[in-house]
Chain A
């Protein structure tokens, strides 16, 4: 079977390595840092029901609810499955609740309207000022453990995973991509690795990776700030019932409440700035929904760069679609053997991998169907049961 090289050890690379090994490809993955050291580990930890996107980004909403149902089945230990609420507080337009409810139903998302009293009976930490609520099937993700489920399963099935290995050059000399040159930080040595096809799954860093092959891809890093405060204020995810904006969500997780988020656009995904004013604004706006989170001590605040697909037509960063796309660079740039996976989000990594693996099957003339939606993932702890470094030496036909 063809040897597929994946660049990027985040959620997308993890899910793709899993999908491709199930379809019997040989898989080698390189990540310049530790696995999951980029955006994936830093995401908010929301398993989207899709309701957040239902009104303005129908495609993303439908992707989210489909994946939400699948992940609950294949990785239940990585999820706190307590559902979520959208709550309206002054001065939110109450009519938006009806718009949202209709959009959820049109997207296939089970949404139930609750009175203010019903919502307060579920979550007494909500402000008594709420005007109404919608129950939706949101959940909390353990960002690192969910992705490690994919890595554990991929490695068990033969994927070779190489953290701390930076791809420094993509070989296009033959008029097509034939392999990569990798610097291994552990040995400080470079080596050449041949592959039949190279996949750029570097997320917000995809622009840099594509540039190694002389290709420009339309990735737009979009950082946002998250604030984890002490105390589990609610058990359900709490969303603000208004169009997507800043400081409109509280995700409980363990003994923390994680508040988010903001969004700006940048060119440098390594931008580690953490604007103080964002932290203050997010705490303040989230406390309009749950007053306790405004007073709670901050455990940590951080930012993470979303891997957005550039969209010059979007009226604001929040309007950029959160969907994903696989690009065959033979079609876009006349470079054979190179594919980029752009966009997407933690909730949809499995679907991102499916679509990309489908493309790889078409390009290599295989018809192996996707199995990831019905294959339970191995527990993340399995990853640590095997010796570190390369996967099992078992070779695949």
Chain B
């Protein structure tokens, strides 16, 4: 396999005067690579100052969310072969302040997520009949990698919008499932508050773009049912 691909990348930095421009890079690839690998080839071979975020390369860190042909996706697990033929367009995630080029500031995502909310949960039952000595239960990280794809895709969330957004509501619902009593009531109040569930427009875009199958819309539906049950919302 020896194939030429073209990537049209939005180049803009907050201090630039003038409108954002696109720059097109051409690469010759000899295998089906990821968008992230393509960006790394451009960075090492053509323009070291191209700005993008990346870390784990396997959809665990959540840093490389971007718009790939207009859709919110992770660059690390999006392969050239999954995209339609022709020039590939890359833009930063919409709804977040820009650092430069494809890199954005993730602060809005975290605005309504409690920094102490538990990131661990009980692991799925894999059929073991015993636990190792010294281990009370098998635990694992939550599926949400806080990549921001859902917030960017949501028609009513994003920077300076009143809605806390699907990532925060999904995280809130996960946290709610681990708490009881007073702690749970405070969370439900937050979900039912001014920035909460009531602003969701039910577009389901969040679940459609989520790269790690968190399906935030389901969590929002859960919360809606609970809030109604609690009589906090007509």
Q: Collect the chain A residues with CB atoms within 8 Å of residue B141's CB.
A: 80, 140, 142, 253-254
Instruction: Return the chain A residue nearest B171 by Cβ.
Output: A381
From A40, A122, A378, A384, give the contact of B130 (CB < 8 A): A122
How far apart are the CA atoms of A272 and B41 in the complex, in Å?
A: 8
Contact with B along A187-222 (1 / 0, CB 8 A): 110000000000000000000000000000000000
Q: In the complex the two chains form, is A80's CB within 8 Å of B139's CB?
A: yes
Given A135-B133, A164-B100, A384-B109, A255 contacting B57 (CB threshold 8 A) = no
A350 is an interface residue with CB less than 8 A from chain B: no
Q: Collect the chain B residues with CB atoms within 8 Å of residue A42's CB.
A: 55-57
How far apart are the CA atoms of A299 and B197 in the complex, in Å?
A: 33
Q: Collect the chain A residues with CB atoms within 8 Å of residue B110's CB.
A: 381, 384-385
Q: In the complex the two chains form, is A379's CB within 8 Å of B140's CB?
A: no
From B99, B120, B124, B132, give the contact of A135 (CB < 8 A): B132
A121 is an interface residue with CB less than 8 A from chain B: yes
B184 is an interface residue with CB less than 8 A from chain A: no
Q: Collect the chain A residues with CB atoms within 8 Å of residue B13's CB.
A: 185-188
Majority DSSP secondary structure for residues of B touching A: loop
A334 is an interface residue with CB less than 8 A from chain B: no
B227 is an interface residue with CB less than 8 A from chain A: no
Contact with A along B157-168 (1 / 0, CB 8 A): 000000000000
How far apart are the CA atoms of A115 and B126 in the complex, in Å?
A: 19
**B76-133, CB < 8 A from A:** 76-77, 97, 99-100, 103, 105-107, 109-110, 113, 115-116, 118-120, 123-124, 126-133
From A36, A164, A234, A252, give the contact of B99 (CB < 8 A): A164
Q: In the complex the two chains form, is B53's CB within 8 Å of A34's CB?
A: yes
A145 is an interface residue with CB less than 8 A from chain B: yes
Q: In the complex the two chains form, is A121's CB within 8 Å of B138's CB?
A: no
Q: In the complex the two chains form, is B140's CB within 8 Å of A232's CB?
A: yes
B40 is an interface residue with CB less than 8 A from chain A: yes
Q: Collect the chain A residues with CB atoms within 8 Å of residue B59's CB.
A: 228, 299-300
Number of contacting residues on A, CB 8 A?
A: 65
Q: In the complex the two chains form, is B15's CB within 8 Å of A302's CB?
A: no
Q: Collect the chain A residues with CB atoms within 8 Å of residue B54's CB.
A: 33-34, 37, 41
How far apart are the CA atoms of A234 and B213 in the complex, in Å?
A: 20
B2 is an interface residue with CB less than 8 A from chain A: no
How far apart are the CA atoms of A186 and B52 in the complex, in Å?
A: 11
A129 is an interface residue with CB less than 8 A from chain B: no
Q: In the complex the two chains form, is B126's CB within 8 Å of A125's CB?
A: yes
Q: In the complex the two chains form, is A232's CB within 8 Å of B55's CB?
A: no
From B34, B48, B128, B140, give the contact of A300 (CB < 8 A): B34
Q: In the complex the two chains form, is A384's CB within 8 Å of B106's CB?
A: yes
Q: Collect the chain A residues with CB atoms within 8 Å of residue B132's CB.
A: 82-83, 122, 135, 236
A319 is an interface residue with CB less than 8 A from chain B: no
**A293-330, CB < 8 A from B:** 299-300, 302, 304
A77 is an interface residue with CB less than 8 A from chain B: yes
Given A34-B53, A80-B140, A124 contacting B126 (CB threshold 8 A) = yes
Contact with A along B210-221 (1 / 0, CB 8 A): 001100000000
Which residues of chain B have a CB within 8 Å of any CB of chain A?
13-15, 31, 34, 37, 40-41, 44, 48-49, 51-63, 76-77, 97, 99-100, 103, 105-107, 109-110, 113, 115-116, 118-120, 123-124, 126-135, 138-143, 212-213
Task: A254-B141, A302-B58 are known; give 5 further A-B pairs, CB within 8 A.
Answer: A123-B128, A124-B127, A125-B127, A144-B55, A232-B126
17 examples of A-B residue contacts, CB within 8 angstroms: A41-B54, A41-B56, A41-B57, A77-B119, A81-B139, A82-B135, A83-B134, A140-B140, A145-B61, A164-B100, A183-B49, A185-B49, A256-B58, A272-B44, A300-B58, A300-B59, A388-B105
Top 5 nearest A-B pairs (CB, nearest first) are A41-B55, A144-B61, A302-B57, A300-B58, A235-B138
